[in-house]
Amino acid sequence: MTLPDRPLARPPLPDKAGMNTIRLDLALTRDEVAATIRQLSMKLNPSRLLKDHTGLALVVGLTLATVVGSVMVHAADRRARDRKYVV
């Protein structure tokens, strides 16, 4: 989904803008904000991020599992060595 082709900034409302012009501008602004929020929520959706970056998620998960496993093995080895020297 892309933003509609439009200038980045709309000109300000004229000083003597009528109520209908103000309401129309407000409705247009509301629609633009809603479209922006929809786009952001689609980009930040965790399931979509996982689907788009499966390889990265796999690498991060395997790295985390390796680090946790290494810490556990190191701690168990250290406990075993400490017990060996207890009299």
- For the chain, 87 residues long, give each residue's pLDDT as a single digit of tens: 555 565 567 788 888 889 999 999 999 999 999 999 998 888 888 777 777 778 888 899 999 999 999 999 999 988 888 777 665
Q: What is the dihedral of CA 54, 60, 64, 66, to 10 degrees?
A: 90
pLDDT at residue 86, rounded to an integer: 62
Which residues neighbour 10 within 8 Å (Cβ) at sequence distance 6 or greater? 25
Which residues neighbour 36 within 8 Å (Cβ) at sequence distance 6 or greater? 3
| Tokens read off for 46 | 């965790």
What is the chain's mean pLDDT, rounded? 84
pLDDT at residue 87, rounded to an integer: 59
pLDDT at residue 13, rounded to an integer: 84
